[in-house]
Homo-oligomer: A and B are copies of this chain.
Amino acid sequence: MPDYSIGVDMGGTNLRIAAIGKDGQLLEKITTDVKLAMGRDYVIGEMCDAIRRLTEKYRASGRFLGAGIGVPGIIDVEAGIMRKSANLPGWTDYPVRDVIERSLGSRIFLDNDANMAALGEKWLGAGRDADNLAMLTLGTGIGGCIILNGKVFYGMSGMAGEFGHVTVEPNGVPCGCGNRGCAERYASATGIVRMAREAIGSGEAPELAKAANSDPEFSARSIYDLAMHGDAPAQRIFQRFGEVLGMLLADLVNVLDLEMFVIGGGVVSAWDAFAPRMFAELRERSLVYAASAPEDPMAKKEGASAAIANYTRKKTIITQALLGSDAGLYGAARIPASQ
């Protein structure tokens, strides 16, 4: 029977909790609603109850190593404090870790959901064989995380990996961060819907307009379906998405030269609609990528590019995440398991 830890992934709507063995076996997974309207203390109480139920159930199976909790927002990881979260307005500056630690009497680790997802992919997913990688989680925005030597690279203020706010269009769409033309205004689920509404507004996307009017849940998914059925305006949106993601990845390869970039988040299921353009852009905009790109007959292997390729023989790998929405759960469980 393995020692085990608990991983928690707290979103704006779902709370997911899993007991996971030290070697990565999923023992049990619970999913419940987050009753945000009941207030912070109620939600944390429910989380603690669920963790307690699991640790009591698996008490006999092995040693309980602690729990990792992934939350959306800006986290002071050292202090265990939630600084700010768009989804959890009443939690500002709340010492989430210490409160839960006192309630449960066990070791608790708090970090943001993007870092947890990256740790999960590093442990059991696409990043298993890479020590240095970055993960981009494409959702409402772009969650980012850099892992160096197997550990999260936080930067000075814990803010490293804000890939979503890299400028891809100097005079582009305004962003809530104060910048214009941030990558996440294009290469995210929200970006896809925004671009679709823009196309509808221009009057040149009748099928998109029809779908938006008839479908109360008009989403990136609906736009993808139209693109797959040959609708040119919908296809152009995924082309633009791929172009921006390729530009962003090129910047990241040029700056970081990491072994691997893992792309996760729900929109990754639209890979076939955006990836060809993404790779084309990446090759054109990053000499380092072009030099090291795997199986790429189009890469210009001349001059500096050939010089890099000659001696590295290493490949920059750009790949889809493998664990889907469970990545954050595994990553959260990994922290206590690896201490």
Chain A residues engaging chain B, CB cutoff 8 angstroms: 74, 76, 79, 81, 83-84, 92-93, 132, 144, 146, 148, 153-163, 165-170, 177-180, 247, 250-252, 254-259, 284-288, 290-292, 300, 303-305, 307-308, 310-312, 314, 316
Contact = CB atoms under 8 A, between A and B. Distances in A.
The winner among A300, A304, A310 for most chain B CB atoms within 10 A is A304
Contacts of A154: 257
A259 B308 contact: no
A10 B84 CA distance: 50
Given A247-B170, A255-B161, A84 B307 contact: yes
B255 A314 contact: no
For the complex formed by this chain, how many copies does it contain in all?
A: 2
Nearest to A307: B84
| Interface residue SS majority, chain A | mixed
Contacts of A284: 178-179
A258 B155 contact: yes
B247 A157 contact: no
Contacts of A132: 155-156
Given A93-B310, A310-B83, A155 B287 contact: no
A179 B285 contact: yes
Given A169-B170, A251-B251, A287-B165, A159 B311 contact: no
Residue from the set A154, A160, A161, A250 with the largest chain B CB neighbour count within 10 Å: A160
A308 B250 contact: no
A314 B156 contact: yes
